[in-house]
Amino acid sequence: MSDRLQPGDEAPAFTLPDADGNEVSLADHKGRKVIVYFYPAALTPGCTKQACDFTDNLELLAGAGYDVIGISPDKPEKLARFREAESLKVTLLADPDKKVLDAYGAFGEKKNYGRTYLGVIRSTIVVDEEGKVERALYNVRATGHVAKIIKDLGV
């Protein structure tokens, strides 16, 4: 488990497969701001709500200079089913070995109904044009989160 990122930190570089198996790197987005969000599992209610909210606001965010990338431990095949089932437009990346989740502090100890376990911590990291962390939000809620980000970023 790595430490959580702080504003001003260098965003950890990554290259992961998307829903079609194509490699996507953070470096591909240099010069643009990137909202990287981490979610536990495709095709679950909360994660679907969050992905649909990002898709619904993608044009607004893109117009303000933001790209959106969603990362989960799911395999590309499941991400493709998720994208098709929900008509998602956001870039979905697969991190089954959880290396990127860990590097971003989005994998760690969670508590649910008094039980402690390791899992994905729903998180959103905003990376600036230079690859530095602008905002690091951990333990976010799926519902209402995208509207809050838009408000906080002044989009």
User: Which single residue is written with the structure tokens 């990338």?
Assistant: 69
DSSP reduced 3-state for 50? helix
How far apart are alpha carbons 111 and 81 in whole angstroms? 29
Domains annotated for the chain, with CATH where assigned, are: 9-153 (3.40.30.10)
- Return the structure tokens found at 106: 């989005």
Q: Mention every residue, 6+ apart, whose C-beta is less than 8 A from residue 19.
A: 76, 79, 80, 82, 83, 92, 94
Choosing from 11, 47, 51, 120, the catalytic residue is 47
Instruction: Report the pLDDT value the prediction gives residue 111, as an integer from 0 to 100.
Output: 81
Query: Radius of gyration of the chain from Cα atoms?
Result: 14
Contact 31, 129 (CB under 8 A): yes
- Return the structure tokens found at 91: 């870039």
How far apart are alpha carbons 84 and 92 in whole angstroms? 12
- Return the structure tokens found at 19: 């829903």
What is the pTM (predicted TM-score) of this model?
0.94
Q: Does 52 participate in catalysis according to the annotation? A: no
Q: Running DSSP on this structure, what letter comes out for residue 145?
A: H
Instruction: Report the pLDDT value the prediction gives residue 110, as an integer from 0 to 100.
Output: 85
Per-residue pLDDT tens digits of the chain, which is 155 residues long: 568 999 999 999 999 999 999 999 999 999 999 999 999 999 999 899 999 999 999 999 999 999 999 999 999 999 999 999 999 999 999 999 999 999 999 999 888 788 898 999 999 999 999 999 999 999 999 999 999 999 999 99
How far apart are alpha carbons 87 and 58 in whole angstroms? 13
